[in-house]
Amino acid sequence: DAKTHEIVLRDNVRFHDGSTMTADDVVFSLGVERLRGDKAPGAAVVANFLSSLADVQKVDDRTIRLFTKTEDPVFANRLGAWGTQIISAKAWKAAASYDAWAAKPIGTGPYKISDVRSGDEITLVAHDEYWGGQPPFASIRFKRLPEIAARIAGLKAGDYDIVTDITPDHIAEIDGVNGLSVTGGETTWFRFLTFAPLRTPVLKDANLRRALASAIDRDALADGLWNGRAKALNGFQLPIFGEINDPDRKGVSYDPALVNELLAKSSYRGEEIPYPTVGTYYPMQLPDNQALVEMWKAAGINVKLIMCENWDQ
C-alpha cells in the first residue's frame, strides 16, 4: 500500500572495511538505537528529515520493507537526506564510543576517512571497492579556516585547490587573478527568523511579530550587503521548486507605516528583545544580524544581539 515501501539492495556492496552490506545493516542504520530513538544520535535529524518513518523490517538478506506513519509522496527523496546513510552495524557496536565512531565511521560511500586532526582538518581516501566505480581522486583534504583572508591567501599561494564561502566583498580579490576564477550559482539558502515566544513572552503578540517582519528592508540587505547576489523572497519558496512555486504569492514587504500601525495595536512597550545568534556559521551572518538590529532600532523596536558559541544556546 501507499505506506509500505520495499527496497531490494544491490549485490555485493562493500563497506569501507571490506565487509558486505546486508539488510541487517540497513535495519540497524534506520533503527531505534542509531536514528529513531528519542535519545539516539540521529534523533534531531529524524525530526527534520525523516519524521514519517515508522518502522523498518528485514524480509531477507537483500530486501527490506519501510513503513511510514502516513502516505508520504516524497519518501524516496527523504531516503537521500541527511542521516539515512547506511553504516556497518558491526563496526558501530564495536566502537569504543560515539566520538571514536564519528572519527572513523564505516559506510559504503566513494571515500573513507583516513585522518582527522583536532576537528579542523580531515583527509579522505578513495574507497577502491565502491559500488559506483572508481572515485575520481585518490585523496581529498578538507581544512577549516574561519578567516576569509586566510582562505584567499592559501588559494593564491597554491595551498588549496578550492575555497568556499567567499563573501561578495572579497570576490574581486580572486576572480581573474593568477588564473583563479569564482564559480557558482543560486543556492537554496534561506535567511529567516524564528520567533521564540516561550523564551520571550512579549513575542506572543502577533502584531509585534508582524512589525518585526515588516521593518526589514530585504532589498536593501540584498543590494547593500550582498552586492546584488541575494534576492528578497516571497516566502519559503524558490523558482527551482518548479510547479509548486507560486511567483504571484505576496510576501512580507518593507512597510514603515504598517510597522507604526502594528506597534500601536500591540502590547509592546519598548521591552528589550534578545536576538541570539551564532553569527559566524554562514557567510555574512553577523553583518546580516547587525543590519536587522539597526532596522528594528529605527522602527522603535529594542532588540539586543546576543552572540552564542553554539546552536544549543
Give the CATH number of the domain where residue 214 resides.
3.10.105.10
Dump strand ranges (E) for 120-272: 121-126, 139-143
Domain boundary among 68, 95, 122: 95
**Residue 20 belongs to a domain:** yes
**Residue 185 belongs to a domain:** no
| Count of domains observed in the chain | 2
Contact assessment for residue 272 and residue 302, using Cβ atoms and an 8 Å cutoff: yes
Q: Please give the residue range of the domain that contains residue 19.
A: 4-95
Q: Say which residue, 229 or 132, is predicted with more confidence.
A: 132
pLDDT digits (tens, 9 = 90+) for 105-125: 999 999 999 999 877 999 999
Kindly tell me if the per-residue pLDDT of 54 is higher than 90: yes
Q: Tell me which residue has cell 527523504.
A: 78
Distance CA 145, CA 162 (A): 12
Distance CA 41, CA 56 (A): 18
Domain boundary among 70, 95, 120: 95
Mean pLDDT (whole number) for 211-231: 93
**Segment holding 56, helix H or strand E:** strand 53-60
From the list 295, 232, 236, the residue with the least C-alpha distance to 305 is 295
**Segment holding 152, helix H or strand E:** helix 148-156
Q: Which residues share a beta bridge with 143?
A: 121
Alpha helices in 80-119, H assignment, sequence order: 89-94, 98-103
Kindly tell me if the per-residue pLDDT of 96 is higher than 90: yes
**Residue 42 belongs to a domain:** yes
Kindly tell me if the per-residue pLDDT of 257 is higher than 90: yes
Please give the pLDDT value at position 186: 76
Q: Tell me which residue has cell 536587522.
A: 292
Q: Say which residue, 202 or 231, is predicted with more confidence.
A: 202
Please give the pLDDT value at position 46: 87
pLDDT digits (tens, 9 = 90+) for 167-212: 988 998 998 888 899 987 777 788 888 999 999 999 999 999 999 9
Distance CA 258, CA 234 (A): 18
Please give the pLDDT value at position 291: 97
**Residue 147 belongs to a domain:** no
**Residue 182 belongs to a domain:** no
How would residue 309 be classed by pLDDT, with cut points 50, 70 and 90? confident
**Residue 190 belongs to a domain:** no
**Residue 103 belongs to a domain:** no
Please give the pLDDT value at position 17: 97
Q: What's 88's domain CATH number?
A: 3.90.76.10
Please give the pLDDT value at position 140: 98
Distance CA 271, CA 215 (A): 17
Domain boundary among 60, 75, 95: 95
Please give the pLDDT value at position 238: 86
% pLDDT > 90, the chain: 72
User: How confident is the prediction for the chain on average, in pLDDT?
Assistant: 93
